[in-house]
Amino acid sequence: MAALNYNHLRYFWAVAREGNLTRAAEKLLISQSALSIQIRKLEGQLGQDLFERSGRQLVLTEAGRIAFDHAESIFATGGDLLATLKQRSGGRRSILRVGALATLSRNFQIGFLRPLLGRRNVEVIVRSGTTAFLLQSLEAHRLDVALVNVAPARDAATPWVSHPIAEQPVSLIGTPKRIGKGGTLKKLLTGQPLVLPTMESSVRIGFDALVERMGWRVRVAAEIDDMAMLRLIAREDIGLAVVPPIVVKDELTSGLLVEVHQLPQLSETFFAVTMKRRFPNPLLRELISPHAALELAD
C-alpha cells in the first residue's frame, strides 16, 4: 500500500473541523475545487467515503469519524513533538464521547465511567440531552455511547443496540423525621405525600401498576423528571420519594435520608446504547462487558 499522504489528511481534517468546504478552502488559501480533489484522492486511497452531504453541511460518515479521530491524534502528536523540543509538557489522549439522558442519575453516570476517569491518557466528553438528541448524535457519529433508562424502540431499520448494564431496585426513601418508626408499606404509601418520577419514566409506570394491583390510593406531592431535582426535593422533606437508592447514595450514607422499603417487583434498568459500527471505540470494551455490568450492579 502506498504511504499515506499527510497533506491530503490535513486537508480532510480541516474540512471535518469546519463542516463546510468553502470555509475550509478559505482558511487553507486554496480553491474549493482543488480542496475537493484532495479529499477525493484521500477517499480513493482509503477506499471509504469520508463525508456525506446534509443540506449545505458536510457530515462525517462512520469511516470519516474514524479518520478524523486518527487525524486529531496524528496532528496532536506533531504538537507534542514541538512541545517536547521546546521543553513543554504534553501527551496523547484517547477520547470517549458519552451522551447521557439529561434526567439520568449523576451517581449512575459516574459509576459507569469510573474505570476511565482520572486516566492521564483518556479524555471523557459527556453531553446531556433527550433520548431523540442522543440517538441522532449516535447516528451522526458525534457520540460513541448513550446512557438511558429506557431501551429505544428498535426494528430492522434502526442501527443501534441497547446493552443492559445495570438493574437497580426502587425503594421508598425519606428523611428520618418523616419515616419515624417506619410502618407497613401500605401505611406509608397511603398515609404520606409522595414524590414520584413523571409519567414517562419506567419507574413511574411500574409504581402506578403496583398501587393499582394493591387497590391503594396515594397522594402525589410532586412529579419530577430530573433525578437531581428529585433528590433535592426528597432532602427538603416534601414527601417520601420513590427512587432507586443509587440516586441518593450520598444522602443514605450520611443518614440525611433513610431507605425504609424496597418496592416489590419494581426496578430501573440502565442501558448503554451504541451503533452497529465497523470501528467501535476500543474504550467501550472496558465499560460494556458482563464483568463491568456486574460490578456496576453490585
pLDDT along the chain (298 residues), means of 10: 81 89 89 91 91 83 89 74 52 80 87 90 90 87 89 80 90 92 89 91 90 94 90 93 91 94 90 83 81 44
Q: Could you tell me the domains of the chain?
A: 6-85 (1.10.10.10), 94-166+271-297 (3.40.190.10), 167-268 (3.40.190.10)
Cell (9 digits) for 289: 462487558
Q: What is the pTM assigned to this prediction?
A: 0.65
| pLDDT of amino acid 254 | 95
Per-residue 3-state assignment (H helix, E strand, C coil) for 56-110: CEEEECHHHHHHHHHHHHHHHHHHHHHHHHCCCCCCCCEEEEEEEECCCCHHHHH
